[in-house]
Structure 1
Amino acid sequence: MRKGGNPYYEGPVSDHFDGVRFFNPGGTPPRGLAHLLRWQFGGGRVRWPRRYHSPFPQARPDLTVDGDRLRVTMVGHATLLIQVAGLNILTDPVWSHRASPFAFAGPQRRNAPGILMDDLPPIDVVLVTHNHYDHLDLDTLSALQAEHAPLVVTPLGNDTIMRRAVPDAEISVVDWGDWVDLGDGVVIHAEPCHHWSARRTRDRRMALWAAFVIETPAGKIYHVGDTGFHDGINYRAARDRHGAFRLANLPFGCYEPRWFMASQHQNPEEAVMGMLACGAEHVAGHHWGTFRLTNEGIEEPLRALEAALDKAGIERTRFKALRPGEVFDVPA
């Protein structure tokens, strides 16, 4: 156990770390046990089908994408393969059947991964936004290390968790505002988002969460794994720091009931507002349709997203709700 009772990280106090726990400046902490029980036993969950097959076949990506091309392929949930500037980047990779600490219980996949792990191109970089089980999967990271040995970029404290399963991984640990220069004009920046972290009951907010900006010669990409909207503060700040984005990868599912989820998961209308606030020309929508984590029906995010885009006067083709196996060649 590290000093102060934090098992993952020890460092100086900052505007988002009190010496033991991280927090969202001016934001809302996660709700407590009483609220969790109220949600879990309060009813209102819409039944999901046991299987929700993607209309797209499993993709077999090219080995590399270069020039001014930018390609995103959906694996599932928040796992995306980003191919740009000759690099292959995976976000929050989860190939496991369950997003859970247990192999026998917890949210299970409703569709197969959109890329077989054996069909992945050589993976250069893995971005892990935070340590919730639907984003940080140690079995997947171990398999990727054995086959690809990528650089893993993750916020403070998450490296401690990873090294228990993948001791030989190359991990670059970042705080908000830090960056990793990969050379050839590619820089990964760590940015704030409004979320939290936990792997068990007593480690809440003891590892940091983050969004990422990927600066490339083909344009800038804003990747958000999970976030509450937080009045758009972080979206506007990202645009102020980096300018507009060719692509934003934004979550738009797992948002009901709002009284419980609003501070941690934005809904489709908020995702559209975030698209506008950060100046994204195109959006790859994720965090829906694979793991049942919240109350809404499996296709409710799609209908709500279409309504929000129409209301905002945005062409639906600019915000693509990606399904496993779907390949999005982002217009220049």
Structure 2
Amino acid sequence: MIPRRTFLATSAAAITFLPYAARAAAHAGDTFATDNGQIEVFPLDHATFVMTTPAGTIYNDPIGDPAMYSDFPPADLILVTHEHGDHYNAETLAALMQENTILIVNPAVAAMLPEDLAARATVLANGEDAMAGEVAISAIPAYNTTEERKNFHPEGRDNGYVLTIDGFRTYISGDTEGTREMRALSDIDLAFICMNLPFTMDAQAAADAALEFMPTHVYPYHYRGRDDGTQDPEAFAEAVGDAITVKYGKWYS
């Protein structure tokens, strides 16, 4: 039985959507429809993106200069998948946290947080669930399966997340290979699937995993670009063919 953690009212009774002024022209977003409005996705850098949704504004793995987020609404929900520096930065988190921002982290990140952030964080281990207002969050195991890569992301430590908003299900892989938990997912409308050798997997392995659980749309992300195509989003798109709609964003760091 999967434990469920519900946020305390002192953290935030619900996530409230904050409308925002026109974003900077440099940001390009894709829009996805839900029963109660639209989800818009804004790729920012490598593993970092912002989602505006009918249930609030979500930041995933925010790092870097806080000014990078100035064109977006303040974060209602921040997700951190694991402690590596391209996913977690305590100074960035501290700058982005607002009075009612909900912070979700895995246990390893929780152990590293400064005291003030640790007091506000909700910790989800693999297999645990939480509710943030109208956003249902499930922590999905993220880990390496290839023997020589297991030291990068050992099983049991890091998170991916599935978010359900108005029936629209989004999977964020974090750093992982095509695990049994990923392949067992179902009814995923939008997926962010990493590819970055030698730390996670190549485009073909990412495509093979995606074709098993068949999300409707996929952003290949977390890649750095390789001339041999092993981390090329076009190679991913070619591998999945017409079975999945591939979305693109600026994921280079």
For the aligned pair, the TM-score class normalised by the smaller chain equals 0.7 to 0.9
**How many angstroms apart in 2 are the aligned matches of 1:282 and 1:227?**
19
The residue type paired with residue 123 of structure 1 is A
Structure 1 counterpart of 2:183? 236
> What's the secondary structure of 1:234's corresponding residue?
helix
Question: Which structure has more RCO (C-alpha within 8 Å, separation ≥ 6)?
Answer: 1
- 1:305 is aligned, of 224, 228, 233, to 233
The residue type paired with residue 250 of structure 2 is R
**How many angstroms apart in 1 are the aligned matches of 2:138 and 2:117?**
24
**How many angstroms apart in 1 are the aligned matches of 2:76 and 2:28?**
17
The Cα offsets for residues 174-211 of structure 1, whole Å up to 9 and x where unpaired, read as: 11111111233x21010112149xxxxxxx96992111
Structure 1 counterpart of 2:18? none
When the two structures are superposed, what TM-score results if normalisation uses the length of structure 2?
Answer: 0.74
Aligned in 2, Cα 1:149/1:141: closer, same or farther, shift over 3 Å? farther
The residue type paired with residue 251 of structure 1 is C
Q: Is the 8 A contact 1:149 1:169 kept in 2?
A: no
The Cα offsets for residues 269-306 of structure 1, whole Å up to 9 and x where unpaired, read as: 111122222221001222124xxxxxx6379456x432
**How many angstroms apart in 1 are the aligned matches of 2:228 and 2:76?**
33
Structure 2 counterpart of 1:224? 173
Q: Is the 8 A contact 1:158 1:207 kept in 2?
A: no
Structure 2 counterpart of 1:162? 113
> What's the secondary structure of 1:313's corresponding residue?
helix
The residue type paired with residue 181 of structure 2 is N
User: Are residues 1:274 and 2:220 paired?
Assistant: no
Alignment length (residue pairs): 218
Deviation for aligned residue 1:266: 1.3
**How many angstroms apart in 1 are the aligned matches of 2:219 and 2:43?**
9
**How many angstroms apart in 2 are the aligned matches of 1:298 and 1:142?**
37
**How many angstroms apart in 2 are the aligned matches of 1:116 and 1:194?**
29
When the two structures are superposed, what TM-score results if normalisation uses the length of structure 1?
Answer: 0.58
Aligned in 2, Cα 1:270/1:321: closer, same or farther, shift over 3 Å? farther
Deviation for aligned residue 1:226: 0.8
Structure 1 counterpart of 2:249? 322
**How many angstroms apart in 2 are the aligned matches of 1:207 and 1:273?**
23
Q: Is the 8 A contact 2:204 2:239 kept in 1?
A: no
**How many angstroms apart in 2 are the aligned matches of 1:174 and 1:137?**
18
| Percent sequence identity over aligned pairs | 22
**How many angstroms apart in 1 are the aligned matches of 2:168 and 2:109?**
28
Structure 1, unpaired ranges of 5+: 1-55, 97-112, 197-203, 256-260, 290-295, 326-332
Deviation for aligned residue 1:116: 2.6
Please show how residues 1-332 of structure 1 align to structure 2 within 5 Å. Answer: 57-59=25-27, 67-96=36-65, 116-145=68-97, 147=98, 150-164=101-115, 166-167=116-117, 170-184=120-134, 186-195=135-144, 208-229=157-178, 232-237=179-184, 239=185, 243-252=186-195, 254-255=196-197, 261=198, 264-289=199-224, 297=226, 300=229, 304-314=232-242, 318-323=245-250
Higher strand share: 2
Structure 2 counterpart of 1:51? none
**How many angstroms apart in 2 are the aligned matches of 1:236 and 1:124?**
30
**How many angstroms apart in 1 are the aligned matches of 2:72 and 2:236?**
34
Aligned in 2, Cα 1:148/1:265: closer, same or farther, shift over 3 Å? farther
**How many angstroms apart in 1 are the aligned matches of 2:70 and 2:106?**
28
**How many angstroms apart in 2 are the aligned matches of 1:310 and 1:60?**
23
Q: Is the 8 A contact 1:90 1:127 kept in 2?
A: yes
**How many angstroms apart in 2 are the aligned matches of 1:75 and 1:148?**
24
Q: Pairwise CA RMSD of aligned residues?
A: 3.2
Aligned in 2, Cα 1:206/1:277: closer, same or farther, shift over 3 Å? closer
Q: Is the 8 A contact 1:149 1:170 kept in 2?
A: no
Structure 2, unpaired ranges of 5+: 1-23, 146-152
Q: Is the 8 A contact 2:223 2:251 kept in 1?
A: no
Aligned in 2, Cα 1:322/1:157: closer, same or farther, shift over 3 Å? same
Deviation for aligned residue 1:315: 6.6
**How many angstroms apart in 2 are the aligned matches of 1:236 and 1:60?**
30
**How many angstroms apart in 1 are the aligned matches of 2:26 and 2:130?**
32
